[in-house]
Amino acid sequence: MSETTKFSSEELEQLANLRKAYEAKVLEFGQLELEIMLTEQHVTNLQTAKTQLQQDYKNLQEQERTLLQELNSKYGSGTVDVATGEFIPNPAQ
């Protein structure tokens, strides 16, 4: 049977330091992956909000078109002074 050999305290310390460095890197990888996951979730939430805002904007445009058609049917073409609420017909009418 072969004899066992003990490592020196320096060698043991080097091995322990190396193990600690590996553990620290594994922890850093985990933290990085968590940050990536949270960032991806945030981007997804922003994309969802953007899509909703785009739809809301389109709905406002449609409401505006509908209102303008109704007002043109009722008053003819012209302009509105929003501050006074006065309608000014186009001179061609």
Question: Which residues partner with 81 through β-bridges?
Answer: 86
pTM: 0.65
In this predicted structure, the answer to whether residue 93 has a pLDDT above a threshold of 60 is no
Rounded Cα distance, 91 and 68, in Å: 18
Cβ-in-10-Å burial (0-12, 13-18, 19+) of 71 comes to middle
Better-scored residue on pLDDT, 80 or 56: 56
- Asked if residue 87 lies in contact with residue 78, where contact means CB atoms within 8 angstroms, the answer is yes
CA-closest candidate to residue 37, choices 29, 48, 49: 29
